[in-house]
């Protein structure tokens, strides 16, 4: 699909390097995962998954510990997991995942981010059918053939394995995430440039000129919202 995973992550890191926004969002996600089950990643698969993602973004240990400690306490805030779907310029499609303690506020903010930038929100199911839930890993120092061999030996069925800018990218079924992760760890691979579940578009829309500028502004507005955890889209923004 050519999503340029490392470029995407680099852009996010550059955008957030002078703020605590990305850490704050991980703090909420870790808290919610820990509160929903045991605050121990070895017995809580959701928490383990979030912590692996946090590791690839270099989230500081004190942020992680604070979120888990908060989840151990009585009471605390309740968060709703929400998914919004919408459309941008040029026939683009967008999925917005949020965690919020105020549904009305989040819905209003997301709708405004779409509307002010040439987009509009759609109904539930209007966009997700054009995306595939996918586990994705980025592995450095191993060729595609080496990575494929590691996965085959562990009976992990990968959708695709390819090399992209000195990183081998793996796409697998979502339910294969932990199996793939364990296969890599058995092979001595414990660091990943990316390790997460994502939504991959089945087709992409190439944007240029004013449409590209407007769409990027919309995505920035959505990602800047405190309640928004992740944004997926089918726009090809490569120059």
Torsion of CA 104, 105, 108, 112, to 10 degrees: -170
Share the mean pLDDT of the chain.
Answer: 89
99 and 79 Cβ atoms separated by less than 8 Å: yes
Query: Half-sphere exposure (CA, 13 Å, Cβ side) for 135?
Result: 18
pLDDT in tens, 83-100: 999 999 999 999 999 999
Q: Does residue 25 register a pLDDT over 50? A: yes
* Mean pLDDT computed over 56-66: 91
pLDDT in tens, 7-21: 555 555 555 554 578
Q: Does residue 204 register a pLDDT over 50? A: yes
Least confident of 7-16, 102-111, 185-194, 195-204: 7-16
CA 151 to chain centre: 22
* Mean pLDDT computed over 189-208: 92
For residue 163, list its beta bridge partners: 168
Confidence (pTM): 0.88
Pick 19 or 140 by higher pLDDT.
140
Domains within the chain, CATH numbers bracketed: 5-72 (1.10.10.200), 80-129+202-236 (3.30.70.980), 131-200 (3.30.70.980)
Share of the chain above pLDDT 90, in %: 70
> Residue 37 phi/psi, 5° resolution?
-140, -155
Helices (H), the chain: 5-16, 21-36, 45-56, 61-72, 103-115, 144-153, 177-186, 209-223
% helix, strand, coil for the chain, step of 5: 45, 25, 30
* Mean pLDDT computed over 139-152: 94
DSSP code of residue 122: -
């Amino acid at each position: 699909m050519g999503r340029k995973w490392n470029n995407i992550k680099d852009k996010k890191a550059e955008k957030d390097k002078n703020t605590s926004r990305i850490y704050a969002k991980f703090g909420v996600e870790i808290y919610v995962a820990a509160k929903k089950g045991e605050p121990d990643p070895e017995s809580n698969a959701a928490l383990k998954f979030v912590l692996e993602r946090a590791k690839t973004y270099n989230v500081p240990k004190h942020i992680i510990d604070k979120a888990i400690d908060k989840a151990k306490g009585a009471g605390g805030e309740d968060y709703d997991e929400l998914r919004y779907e919408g459309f941008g310029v040029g026939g683009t499609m967008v999925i917005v995942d949020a965690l919020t303690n105020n549904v009305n506020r989040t819905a209003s903010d997301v709708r405004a981010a779409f509307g002010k930038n040439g987009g509009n929100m759609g109904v539930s199911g209007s966009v997700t059918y054009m995306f595939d839930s996918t586990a994705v890993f980025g592995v450095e120092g191993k060729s595609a053939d080496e990575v494929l061999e590691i996965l085959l030996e562990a009976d992990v069925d990968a959708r695709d394995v390819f090399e992209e800018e000195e990183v081998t990218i793996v796409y697998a079924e979502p339910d294969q995430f932990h199996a793939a992760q364990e296969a890599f760890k058995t092979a001595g691979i414990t660091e990943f440039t990316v390790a997460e579940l994502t939504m991959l578009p089945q087709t992409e829309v190439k944007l240029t000129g004013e449409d590209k500028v407007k769409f990027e502004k919309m995505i920035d507005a959505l990602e800047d919202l405190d309640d928004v955890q992740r944004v997926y889209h089918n726009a090809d923004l490569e120059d």
